[in-house]
Amino acid sequence: MNTKNQFLTTDLRKALGNFATGVTVVTTVSKEGQLVGVTANSFSSVSLEPPIVLWSLKKTSPSLDAFDHCGRFVINVLALTQTDLSKRFASPIPDKFSTVAYSEGIAGLPLIDNCVASFQCKTHQRIEAGDHILYLGEVQAFDHQDHPTLMFCKGKYMQGSELAVA
Ligand SMILES: Cc1cc2nc3c(=O)[nH]c(=O)nc-3n(C[C@H](O)[C@H](O)[C@H](O)COP(=O)(O)O)c2cc1C
């Protein structure tokens, strides 16, 4: 048992990693008009009426200014076949979009092709929380497709399959 002030961040990260999630790439456009995207599994639904979702970004991210300035973001939920995109947008490479197929959504923000769902959001609230910034977004448009969803659990990419529950 780990108790507060005694645990290691690495242990906490490992314990938190037992919670299975999907994987998203959150996109926006910088002040200079450059496309920006970050792999994030902190995405969560918050409210249906009005439709609000959230995700969080570490304060040290070089992409933070773009999300703050634009005031809009798109949550692109990755399909099982898109682990390459997850790895690409989790790397600090200069032009993450150079090999990525996308179309333009509201305000020219990138909607990545062949994702299982996309949520085009206007930033509703920005909250500082420890070493991360929480972005709550009001969903202005969304889309979804019936492909298998990429999952992430215990630090590994996974696929989900339905359980036969009596
Ligand atoms: C599966 C997965 C989920 C991640 N989730 C988050 C997240 O929710 N928030 C975050 O700040 N970084 C997250 N990261 C790390 C960022 O993707 C990574 O730091 C990336 O370089 C951020 O882009 P940037 O360099 O433009 O900030 C995740 C990485 C992976 C592989």
Domain boundaries, the chain: 22-154
The residue among 87, 73, 159 whose CA lies nearest residue 123 is 73
- Helix or strand holding residue 86 (H, E): helix 83-89
Name residues whose C-beta falls within 8 Å of residue 136's C-beta, 6 or more positions apart in sequence: 46, 52, 53, 54, 123, 124, 125, 126, 127
**64-87: pLDDT as tens digits:** 999 999 999 999 999 999 999 999
Q: Is the pLDDT of residue 1 over 80?
A: no
In eight-state DSSP terms, residue 41 is: S
Tell me, in angstroms, the distance from the centre of ligand 1 to residue 130's CA. Answer: 16
**124-148: pLDDT as tens digits:** 999 999 999 999 999 999 999 999 9
Give, in order, the Cα–Cα distances in Å from 15 to each of 52, 61, 153. Answer: 27, 23, 11
The residue among 123, 113, 57, 115 whose CA lies nearest residue 90 is 57
Tell me, in angstroms, the distance from the centre of ligand 1 to residue 145's CA. Answer: 24
Q: What is the CATH architecture of 22-154?
A: Roll (2.30)
Q: Is the pLDDT of residue 5 over 70?
A: no
- Which atom of ligand 1 is closest in space to residue 58's alpha carbon? 11
Is the CB of 75 inside a 6 Å radius of any atom of ligand 1?
A: no
Tell me, in angstroms, the distance from the centre of ligand 1 to residue 164's CA. Answer: 34
